[in-house]
Amino acid sequence: MSNRTTMTEFLLLGFSEVRELQILHFVVFLVIYLASLVGNLLVIIVVALDNHLHTPMYFFLMNLSIVDLGSISVTVPKSMANSLMNTKYISYAGCVAQVFFLLFLLGEDFAILTVMAYDRYVAICQPLHYETMMNSRACVQMAAGAWISGILYSVLHTGNTFALTFCGGNMVDQFFCEIPQLLKLACSDSYLSEVGVLVFSVCLVLGCFIFITVSYVQIFKSVLRIPSEQGRHKALSTCLPHLTVVSLFVCTAIFAYLKPSSNSPSALDLVIAVLYSVLPPVMNPLIYTMRNKEIKAALRRLTGCR
């Protein structure tokens, strides 16, 4: 495999070489994937079918569930199939597809979370202008902007990565195709590519993070000015799920990408990869539904249960 044109497949990192542990990995990932599938589909169906939930907050929540459903479907099924069939292979085209869709959906995920922070800011800090500022046209435009930015982000980095020449072997030190691991296999000068990816990603993520932080600073200032304790509690309760989801997303990503890099993969690297690629899509539906009275009421209306 001397260059990119003859690179027809990659080898992904397995969780174990022991057959019993491979089956265990398949079963655990199957349970996790089904839990994410059911949770996110439930949110999508309830928001789509219940007229009481046709508000900006739940419109963006439905978009977030679509993104979470897609992101976990990019990595987990292939890893499950490899464990079940005792193989590590992924085709070159499959690897390109994994990188593209994963970057697209992760970029879209953070963009939607940023838009949701703006929605909470307008709802609490400028409630009299909420219906005007967050009308249906504005919501569709913001959601479309988030999706388009995710696509552009992914196209840039995927094209930049696979334009390189790979001659450092075909073993990817991760259970899915990931740009930092693929760059280790590049024999062309990947320094500029790495710097470009890092700078652009940091600027994008930092910009969104600063926007979210400033929005919540203004939100907390407004909440503290609410005279009644019940009013403050009600305002904060609408922000708490979003703030929890943002914290989960940011903390797992920081933990994954700012940890010291190692030349050889370890069990810790795999666990961290699972945390940032698998945990958020599973936890987000739970975070938004466990204490959400409106979604629970919508579920009761749809199922006919008291």
Instruction: Among 22-36, 168-182, 190-204, name the one with the lowest average pLDDT.
Output: 190-204
Instruction: Give the pLDDT of residue 190.
Output: 58
Bridge partners, residue 10, by sequence: 90
Q: What is the DSSP letter of 18?
A: S
The whole-angstrom separation of Cα 108 and Cα 150 is: 5
What is the domain-level CATH number for residue 28? 1.20.1070.10
Distance from CA of residue 222 to its chain's centroid?
29
The whole-angstrom separation of Cα 116 and Cα 128 is: 18
What is the tens place of the pLDDT at every residue in 138-167?
999 999 999 998 898 888 888 888 887 777
**Overall domain count for the chain:** 1
Instruction: Give the pLDDT of residue 2.
Output: 43
- Name the residue range of residue 88's domain: 4-303
Q: Which helix (H) or strand (E) holds 131?
A: helix 130-133
3, pLDDT greater than 50 = no
Average the pLDDT over 217-241 and give the result.
Answer: 84
Nearest to 274 by CA among 13, 67, 100, 10: 13
The whole-angstrom separation of Cα 106 and Cα 110 is: 6
